[in-house]
Amino acid sequence: MFESIGWGEIVVLIVAGLFILGPERLPEAAAWLGRSVRKMRDFATGARQQLREEMGPEFDEYRKPLEDLRNLRSFDPKRAVTQHLFDGDSDPLGLNEINGNGSNGGTKPNGHPAPAAQQTEPLKPGEKPPVDPDAT
């Protein structure tokens, strides 16, 4: 109920109550507010309990879709899509391999084995680079 009210707002309300009611009536107002909130909570609990007793086992069947809707309130589509696409991979683009600090045992980000590092000599002046006929 009061999830969106933070400590800053509570302090502002207390200070405003102190100025409006004065220090002599503020404790009485706080006690009245506490009793009222407690009564409202007891009424809500009693109504829920009465509804549960009257409906019996069907109460839980109707409550489940409401709980699912309440869970959708905290749904983050960006996180859900990222998790679905990358299956929880901490390095989905393989940037750790490029930087040289990867730890996936010699495999590429797509799962294929990485080719062995080949030491090639630089081309001599006037020498043409080798051509791969399969690549063209």
SS3 at position 107: strand
48 within domain boundaries? yes
The pTM assigned to this predicted structure is: 0.38
**Beta-carbon count within 10 A of 68 CB:** 9
125 within domain boundaries? no
126 within domain boundaries? no
Amino acid, single-letter form, for residue 66: L
pLDDT of residue 82: 75
Q: Do 115 and 97 contact (CB within 8 A), yes or no?
A: no
Q: Do 123 and 129 contact (CB within 8 A), yes or no?
A: yes
pLDDT of residue 46: 93
44 within domain boundaries? yes
102 within domain boundaries? no
Number of domains present in the structure of the chain: 1
Check residue 118 and report its DSSP letter. Answer: -
pLDDT of residue 105: 55
For 12-69, what is each residue's pLDDT tens digit? 988 888 888 888 888 888 899 899 999 999 999 999 888 888 888 777 777 778 887 7
What residues make up the domain containing 39? 7-86
47 within domain boundaries? yes
114 within domain boundaries? no
11 within domain boundaries? yes
Q: Above 70 in pLDDT, residue 107?
A: no
